[in-house]
Amino acid sequence: MKRLLALFLIVGFVSLLSAEIGWSGNIYPNSESFHISNENITVYYQIWKDGVTNLPGQGENISAKLFYKLSDEDQFVEIDMPYLGEVGNNDEYSVDISEIYFEEDDIINFYCEGFDASDSTYSYGTDQNNNGPFDADNPGIYYIGSPTAQDVTVTFQVNMSMVTQVTQVSVAGTFNDWTAGSDILQDPDMDNIYTGEILFPAGSNPNHEYKFVNGDQFEDQIDNRILEIDDSSSTQVLDVVYFNNLNPDDFLSQDVMVTFNVDVSDSASAGAVFDSLGINGNVVPLDWDFALLNNPLINSGNDIWTIDITFPEGSWIYLEFKFARNGNDWEADFGENHTVTLDDSSPTMEVNCTYGEMGPVTDTEENTISPVNVRLNNFPNPFNPSTTINFSTTESTEDTELVIYNLKGQKIRQFPNLNNRSSIIWDGKDKNNKPVSSGVYFYQLKTGEQQITKKMMLLK
């Protein structure tokens, strides 16, 4: 297991925090992971309490339990999680879900509970992907499948050309206990593409998580990579990927000045007061400090606020941004942002959006149009594995298309020329017919000069 450390910034009220569990999480394996029917599932869980778990040994008055059940059962099985050791300032606990409890095609619900006997308080943890916190009403999920039917040799490939200093390149994951340097990759052609083979014998778990490692530095800008072993063949060659997914195509090749125009008329009409408006985001020179108003917009009239921002050469092109009204993050919920892909085919770009309408935007004025004569929804939502997207418009649908985007604003699937249809079924797959991961997606209907965007969630 690759153990993660939780970092905490203690900003006062230390005496209050020391009286209760401050945090629990890093549950591993992550929710929605796959396991096989002939192996125990070893569950790990970490707890932090200021002034307690950072001391040697198990934190005083701290304990942990694992709750699990089959998805069609009513009652959870409750077992104590023995103290395993220290991970930084956290105490780690671990216990097995025995293989005799489940079989192929079962679904296991689970959650971890921390208990502080000093004040009789409880804490419920998240997993290493920050899913959760899980509890009896919102449990995590483990899927049980069948092992591989034959030996499969998997070839791993990673492009290291975006890494400044390359040392020993290896791959680490659930298949080698996350051990850096255990499975070394080589670059015989001196083309910065490092490759290596790993044999997975018959009877192996076909589902694994992994990362590439440079020396002792794991990929730290992405979630764990997913390996699904295809045992229909004795060999499987994975696509070449960039270390940390740092594809040069994902960075600006020149400076780009972006003009942001945001329409606040709907919110202003509803009573919102705009004394000031700033823009915040994930790409420098933007930041997420809403109160400082580092990048203030100017009211250009007619409830349109505007600003020019220059993103320098080398900037990441996948921009997420949000507007701070009067120095506050009031536009939408945490994690709900506008998204756009910066276009370096020209040194200038214009982005138009509406305050409060989150999700993908474009570099045309069309994105601000959400006309009353266009209707769009999907059912079910959330969904798994497919959803029906329904739409209606007074325009002819011969030139209407539906586009699905991920949170980065990347186009996932496109349905052009709908030809008088009123619905389509999305099967949760991308343009290459590969299943996409769980998460939030946006679907955008474009017809003539009009378009409208809605949000949906895929849960696996």
Q: Domain extents for the chain?
A: 14-145, 152-246, 254-368, 374-458
Cα 453 to Cα 430: distance, rounded to the nearest angstrom: 18
Q: Looking at residue 451, what is its pLDDT? A: 67
CA dihedral 418, 419, 422, 426 (to 10 degrees): -30
Listed residue (155, 222, 139) closest to 193, CA to CA: 155
- The pLDDT of residue 374 is 65
Instruction: Please write down the HEC assignment for all residues of 281-335.
Output: ECCCCCCCCCCCCCCECEECCCCEEEEEEEECCCCECEEEEEEEECCECCCCCCC
Q: What is the phi/psi pair of residue 269, to 5°?
A: -65, -30
User: What number of other Cβ atoms are within 10 A of residue 407's Cβ?
Assistant: 18
What is the pLDDT, as a whole number, of residue 377? 81
Q: Which fold has domain 254-368?
A: Immunoglobulin-like (2.60.40)
The confidence score (pLDDT) of residue 29 equals: 93
Q: Torsion angle, CA of 262/266/267/273, rounded to 10 degrees?
A: 80
- Please state, in angstroms and rounded to a whole number, the distance separating the CA atoms of residues 127 and 142: 12
Q: Where are the beta strands (DSSP E) in 71-126?
A: 77-80, 83-87, 90-97, 107-116, 121-124
CA distances from 290 to 241, 284, 373 (A): 35, 14, 36
Q: What integer pLDDT is reported at residue 14 of this predicted model? A: 38
pLDDT of residue 439: 81
Q: How many CB atoms lie within 10 A of CB 217?
A: 14
**Exposed / middle / buried, residue 128 (Cβ in 10 Å: 0-12, 13-18, 19+):** buried
pLDDT for the residue 368: 37
pTM: 0.52
Provide the 3-class DSSP secondary structure of residue 365. Answer: helix
Q: What angle do CA 411, 412, 414 make, to 5 degrees?
A: 80
Can you give the pLDDT at residue 15? 39
Name the CATH architecture for the domain at 374-458: Sandwich (2.60)
CATH topology assigned to domain 152-246: Immunoglobulin-like (2.60.40)
Half-sphere exposure of 207 (CA within 13 A, CB side): 14
Instruction: Report pLDDT for 443.
Output: 84
Q: Residue 98's Cα: distance from chain center in Å?
A: 30
CATH assignment of 14-145, among 2.60.40.10, 1.10.8.50, 3.40.50.720, 3.30.1950.10: 2.60.40.10
Rg (CA), the chain: 25
**What CA–CA distances, in Å, run from 230 to 95, 151, 153, 235, 241?**
30, 10, 10, 8, 19
* pLDDT reported for residue 279: 97
Fold: same for 152-246 and 254-368: yes
Per this entry, what is the length of the chain? 460
Position 396 scores a pLDDT of 59
- Going residue by residue through the chain, which has 460 residues, state the pLDDT in tens, using 9 for 90 and above: 444 444 333 333 333 444 589 999 999 999 988 899 889 999 999 999 999 999 999 999 999 999 999 999 999 999 999 999 999 999 999 999 999 999 988 999 999 999 999 999 999 999 998 899 999 999 999 999 889 999 999 999 999 999 989 999 999 999 999 999 999 999 999 999 999 999 999 999 999 999 999 999 999 988 899 999 999 999 999 999 999 998 898 899 999 999 999 999 888 888 889 999 999 999 999 999 998 888 999 998 889 999 999 999 989 899 999 999 999 999 988 778 999 999 999 999 999 999 998 888 854 433 333 433 567 788 888 888 889 998 877 665 567 888 898 766 677 898 887 777 788 999 999 888 888 888 878 888 877 666 677 778 888 7
